[in-house]
Amino acid sequence: MDPKTKYSLGQYYFGILSLFVIGSGFLELLFFFTGGEFSYGILNIPPAVIRGTVITSMGIFMMAGASKLRSIDGLALVTLACIMLWIFSVNDLFEVLTTSILPAEEAEGWFNSLDGFLSAYNGPYHPCVILLPFTLPIFLYIRGYKEDLRVFE
């Protein structure tokens, strides 16, 4: 693929993705200030002020970097936002893993049964976990940036 087309598509892709990240962070802030919580299907948006602020700023970093993805500064901003999202996603997945090991309070024994263990992975999940696979194309841009740099000079 032509590098100019590739980075043009990347600008649109990460720009749209940043809107979803900003929206999820804004919703966490909104639910914190209104005292509600949203859960539908596999999506769960908890009320959190610090987490919502960081996720919103992560989306702003991604949007600022997507607008100038052809430069190393823009690519670094998008990569920073993706790494921040990965940290939040791994934290959420670790929480699911650790809560699936221990049984419910009324159950006997130290460890959860197999059905109880597997039922913990049904969801719902935080928005960062759902958005995690959509950040993986950043590796295509990181890997090919050195070769594509010659085109932009």
Secondary structure (H, E, C), the chain: CCHHHHHHHHHHHHHHHHHHHHHHHHHHHHHHHHCCCEEECCEEECCCHHHHHHHHHHHHHHHHHHHCCCCHHHHHHHHHHHHHHHHHHHHHHHHHHHHHHCCCCCCCCCCCCHHHHHHHHHCCECHHHHHHHHHCCHHHHHHHHHHHHHHHC
The answer, yes or no, to whether residue 128 has pLDDT greater than 60, is yes
Higher pLDDT, 137 or 109: 137
The per-residue b/e assignment along 105-125, b for 16 or more CB within 10 angstroms, e otherwise, is eeeeeeebeeeeeeeeeeeeb
138 versus 104: which is more confidently predicted? 138
pLDDT at position 37, please?
Answer: 86
pLDDT of residue 12: 96
Q: State yes or no: pLDDT of 43 exceeds 70.
A: yes
- Given a cut of 90, whether residue 5 has pLDDT beyond it is no
List, for residues 52-111, the tens digit of each pLDDT value.
999 999 999 999 999 998 888 999 999 999 999 999 999 999 998 888 887 766 667 777
Handedness of CA 47, 50, 55, 57 (dihedral sign): positive
Q: Quick one: pLDDT at residue 153?
A: 54
Compute the average pLDDT of residues 124-145: 92
Query: Tokens at residue 40, please?
Result: 């539908």
> In which band, very low, low, confident or very high, does the pLDDT at 150 lie, cut at 50, 70 and 90?
low
User: Residue 123: is its pLDDT beyond 90?
Assistant: no
Q: In a 10 Å sphere around its CB, with 0-12 CB exposed, 13-18 middle and 19+ buried, how is residue 24 labelled?
A: buried
CA 66/CA 27 separation, integer angstroms: 22
